[in-house]
Amino acid sequence: MIHSAAPLYVQIAQQLRNNIQAGVYKVGDRLPPESQLSQQFSVNRNTIRQAISLLKQEGLLRSQRGSGTFVAAPIRYAIGQRVRYNEALKAQGHSAAFTLIRAVEVSADVSVAKKLSIEQGAPVAHVERLGTADDEPISVGSGYFPLARFPDLLSEESISYLVEVGSISRWLRDRYAIDHIRLSTSVSARLVQPRDAKMLELPLNQAILLAESVNADQQGRLIEYGVARLRGDRMEMVFDNVAKASKATHD
């Protein structure tokens, strides 16, 4: 370890970072247990935990409950292909899950109304969910659905089924016979907002990806405006030009 004025955990994090970049620890490798790292760096376990936490915030490491800490690979999510979010994560060896944050009726603001081609103030359902990969929070997604099209969308039965299946695509398909398509997606970067930072376990100065999408049914009628806030340190958005016109769903 290089000794400097920096705190010990920062020095240890830098040494581990160097080892990852040098290939000592490769993507998918499990780090030695805390006890071994404590002996290696002659520090207590709390200092090791701080160093690991710092590298997790940077997206270099990920923890898997009951298995340990691993060198992380970016989670690739293809835009423009007929790929389901859950399936995309599972295909890369990750476990995927969603937690419902809220499902409420709101009035469409200017942005939502424009995206859905409805009147400002029209009633819409706002469905917000926290997405995790390997038990680590990676996204906060908001979906806005016109209630004129889906009058029972916020019913207890409907929301209970969404929680049960954990998939927007399956929810729409099973309840409304809709196999929706993605009409457009835009991605930008911004600093995480305090509420999202808490849910995504990020510092306030961390940049995130903001993905906005408009989805339609098989007849081209607009059914959802989606806004996803994604951890830029863990997610990699991939645009496939070959599949621009292909159907794409976002569970």
With respect to CATH, is domain 75-243 assigned 3.40.1410.10? yes
What pLDDT score was predicted for residue 164? 95
CA distance 171 to 176: 8
Domain boundaries, the chain: 8-71, 75-243
Q: Whose CA is closest to 130, among 248, 249, 229?
A: 229
Q: Indicate if 75-243 has the same CATH topology as 8-71.
A: no
CATH code, 8-71: 1.10.10.10
pLDDT digits (tens, 9 = 90+) for 213-239: 999 998 999 999 999 999 987 888 877
Over pLDDT 90: what percentage of the chain? 59
pLDDT digits (tens, 9 = 90+) for 71-89: 987 777 777 645 567 777 7
Place of tokens 């979010």: 85
- Asked if residue 76 lies in contact with residue 92, where contact means CB atoms within 8 angstroms, the answer is yes
- Asked if residue 144 lies in contact with residue 223, where contact means CB atoms within 8 angstroms, the answer is no
pLDDT digits (tens, 9 = 90+) for 19-64: 988 889 988 899 999 999 999 999 999 999 999 988 887 778 888 7
